[in-house]
Amino acid sequence: MQATSLVYYFLLVSLCIDFSQNETGALVRRQRRRMRYRGLRKSSSAGRRFPRQPRTKLPAPVAVVPSIPLINIDDGVMGVFDSFIGLGGQESSYSVLPGKKGHCTANGMIMYDKAVWSPKPCITCLCSKGEVICDTTMCHPLKCPQTIIPAGECCPVCSDTASSLDSNIISLDDVSELSGDSPEPNDLDSANVLSSAEKDELLRTEAVEFKEKEVHKKDGKKRRRKGKKNRQKYKAYHREKQPITRKGAAEEEIQYESDEDDGTFRMPSHFPIPVPPIEAPPLPSGCSTSDTTVSCINAKLTQIPPISDPDLTSLDLTGNSITTISDEAFNGIPNLEWIDLSKNNITSPGIGPQAFKILKKLKRLYLDGNMLVHIPSELPSTLEEIKINDNHLHAIDEDSLQDLKNLVTLELEGNKLSEANVSPLAFYPLKSLSYLRLGRNKFRIIPQGLPATLEELYLENNQIEEVSEICFNHTRNINVIVLKHNKLEEHRIAPLAWINQENLESIDLSYNKLYHVPSYLPKSLLHLILIGNQIERIPGYVFGHMKPGLEYLYLSFNKLTDDGIDPVSFFGAYHSLRELFLDHNELKSVPFGIDEMRKLRFLRLNNNKIRTVPPERICRTHVNDDDAHENSEEEENEESRLEHVHLENNYINTRQLSPHAFSCIRSYCSVVLKPQKIK
């Protein structure tokens, strides 16, 4: 009987030993995989320089103080702890202290059975049935010339290895270790020795895990359901915010697997912090913005503000102190269509050669009131309007405007341009130009090489003395020519300069040196502005060749006299003229022919020397027999359209005016007679 009991006893012991070894082996393999993963996480996070987030509230590795928690663990930990003894052929140094009733005493403190603590840095102790078992971290020998001990570590590392910790990239060879699969038996055999640091980390991890198990057991199923929901939320958040790389995917899989093995949810030791997108700094004070426009008018800016908005189409920086435009100034706003940089201090050397090249949709560029000496280079071919008025431009060569085939409007007023520094081929690339302003420059003649598409030309306030017959040979579409405030005389205008133009409707020759109305005017002319000259005479039939006929004639501020206007001076304009300005001249009577102007609406005769208004000089009261045979009945009965008559500041005695003098005017309120001069 005793022999049978003894056999059963030995069988039971053998089964327990085998079971304990299997459990210990499995636990060691799982803990080894976790510690290898965490070691990689620690090395990768060192390069990120993120603040260390503690995994648990373990006591710091200092002398035992009353605040050290006492953690009870089960017998499974003892098997793991005991398996460390003599591992790798090295004996651990233990200090056994006697205790009472399974408790241990450490530095005067009573430790409960199975409590784990760290009395000194890099030393971990366990209370086991009244005995204190301590394990000192053992460091592997290093074969390198220089070693360092990283902060928070016990063992030194090679300086080259430490520098490699700054990298946050895990090689493809390491990814296999993060796959989450259990290591093969030969993997355990190849790793003959576990370092003391791994032992220390394993003990701390087991203690924390068992503490968490105790807490979760008390909370029950409700806490586990909540943990599952939290994991789902964390996974969704992490996948949305953090881009998944091969490394990141492997790390996530391992971490989630280890969490679910424990049946609890724990935040990873180094939670991956999503890096927010880099945003441009806010707009300076004084700037305002709308959906597609940023306006910084008079905002005291010294440079173009760094803006990053692909939807922005308009940028207004008028009235600042900007001096330069770098090549990268508009990189964040490549879809701009309109830029206004007027009234700044931008210089030609301050504009990068590629500053505007990125703007593939730019249509309008305003650079008025700066300090440019030449037109910026590499302008986008999409430009339709350029304004560089009031700068210091002193030259336009044949390449200055290259590739601007879509340009419609070009304004270069208030510069230092002349026929000497503007190439005859300067405007050749402008295949769509229709509006050209060159006022307030130094031109003495009309610039050569004007585009064939030109419709409006403004050359006021120059020094032009001549209009040759070849100036407008190629501009068959020209509609408006403004030459006011120049030095033109009528004999310096060639007879064939513009008489054959079929679309020229408006000419402004105000404030020149003309003595009479120029002959050989364009046939298609509708507006003729001759204000502020020294004109004394309107030649007869000067408007006779025009079709459909002149509509607006402005001769204010000249020297016209009664002898200077012939009975046929307005021949050809009787049935077309709508406005006639003869004010501020030296007329002593109302000119002949005004009563024939059946479409005339506005008549100015003020500020002359007129003394009386004959009854039939402005309004025709009857039709003679000859006219009745020549004109149709409709024309005979056609009423005057005259709406406004100015006769103030003359010498008219209003009491002596005939009641029929203004009979064709519908309202007498439209006739201005006061005040009058008194000689």
107: Cα separation from own chain's centroid: 69
Q: Residue 329 and residue 261: Cα distance in Å, rounded?
A: 55
Mean local confidence (pLDDT), 638-650: 85
Residue 632 confidence class, pLDDT cut points 50, 70, 90: very low
| Choice between 376 and 48, residue whose per-residue pLDDT is larger | 376
Alpha helices per DSSP H over 84-167: 159-164
Backbone angles phi, psi at 124, to 5 degrees: -125, 135
pLDDT at 63 over 80: no
pLDDT of residue 277: 54
pLDDT of residue 105: 75
**pLDDT digit string (tens) for 99-112?**
445 778 777 677 77
pLDDT at 129 over 50: yes
Would you say 526 and 550 are in contact if contact means Cβ atoms under 8 Å apart? Answer: yes
Backbone angles phi, psi at 135, to 5 degrees: -125, 125
pLDDT of residue 641: 80
The residue among 361, 390, 357, 362 whose CA lies nearest residue 376 is 357
pLDDT of residue 276: 57
**pLDDT digit string (tens) for 188-234?**
344 344 445 555 555 565 555 555 555 455 555 444 444 444 445 44
What the chain holds in terms of domains, given with CATH numbers, is: 29-262 (no CATH), 288-392 (3.80.10.10)
Would you say 475 and 467 are in contact if contact means Cβ atoms under 8 Å apart? Answer: no
pLDDT of residue 72: 42
Residue 258 confidence class, pLDDT cut points 50, 70, 90: very low
Would you say 616 and 595 are in contact if contact means Cβ atoms under 8 Å apart? Answer: yes
Q: What is the pTM of this model?
A: 0.60
Residue 670 confidence class, pLDDT cut points 50, 70, 90: confident
The residue among 94, 85, 74 whose CA lies nearest residue 210 is 74
Mean local confidence (pLDDT), 533-546: 94
**pLDDT digit string (tens) for 491-520?**
999 999 999 899 999 999 999 999 999 999
The residue among 25, 29, 23, 72 whose CA lies nearest residue 198 is 29
Mean local confidence (pLDDT), 272-284: 63
Residue 142 confidence class, pLDDT cut points 50, 70, 90: confident
Whole-number CA gyration radius for the chain: 50
Residue 579 confidence class, pLDDT cut points 50, 70, 90: very high
